[in-house]
Amino acid sequence: MGASCLALFLVGCGNGESPVEMSVNSKGEFQISSKVDSVTIQGVKLNRGNCVVNFVPEETLQMGVFMGVLSQMTPISIQDLKDMASAYKILDQKERLANIENKISQLEQKGVMMEPQALKFGEKIKGFSQECDIIEAEIQTDKGAWTLSFDK
């Protein structure tokens, strides 16, 4: 993931110390790691919602379309789902498109940004935000919400 920045400060509405840590780099890539036995990531908001969050790279999505394995991919964020829906629309796969659009609608109705991701101690999830210089991240977990700031 390259050089990462240290968090300047951490503000949380959960109890005690954040159950996760996050590193970012200058290419908009980030990694969230669990510091506790079990935590569920329920949302990631970058730069107060001004940056789109992806967990499935566009190249991987395009390769899935090309190789016919799109249905085997696991979209996590709403943007991942929207990207997959666009691919299904191009491929004229109406049933799969309807399923993805339904999933997006369900997440939006719940007011969440992504499919929950359970992490055990030391496990991590990687994501990215294209053309975004990440200076702040809000991470929603089952143990509270935490805001991290990064020195650039």
What is d(CA 100, CA 113) in angstroms, rounded to the nearest whole number? 14
- 147 phi and psi, to 5 degrees? -110, 125
- pLDDT single digits (tens) 66-122: 556 556 667 788 888 998 898 889 888 899 899 999 999 988 887 778 889 999 999
What is d(CA 124, CA 127) in angstroms, rounded to the nearest whole number? 10
Band the pLDDT of 20: cuts 50, 70, 90: very high
In the predicted structure, residue 152 carries a pLDDT above the cut 80: no
Kindly list the structural domains of the chain, giving each domain's residue range(s) and its CATH number in brackets, ordered by start: 1-53+115-152 (2.60.40), 58-112 (no CATH)
Band the pLDDT of 64: cuts 50, 70, 90: low
What is d(CA 44, CA 51) in angstroms, rounded to the nearest whole number? 10
